Amino acid sequence: MLLVTSIIAAVLTSIFIKLSFAVIGLRRKNKVGLGSGGHEDLERAIRAQGNFAEYIPFGIILVSCLELNGAPWWLVAVPGITLIIGRLIHAVGINVPPPDFSKRILGMQFTFMTLITLIFLNLGWSLYKLVG
Average pLDDT per block of 10 residues along the chain, 132 residues long: 96 97 91 81 91 96 97 97 96 80 92 98 96 86
Q: What is the pLDDT of residue 99?
A: 67
SS3 33: coil
d(Cα 118, Cα 94) in Å, to the nearest integer?
25
Dihedral of the alpha carbons of 92, 112, 76, 89, in degrees to the nearest 10 = -10
Q: What is the pLDDT of residue 97?
A: 76
d(Cα 9, Cα 25) in Å, to the nearest integer?
24
Q: What is the pLDDT of residue 62?
A: 98
Q: What is the pLDDT of residue 111?
A: 97
pTM exceeds 0.85 for this model: yes
Task: Catalogue all structural domains in the chain, each as residue range(s) with its CATH number.
Answer: 3-14+38-127 (1.20.120.550)
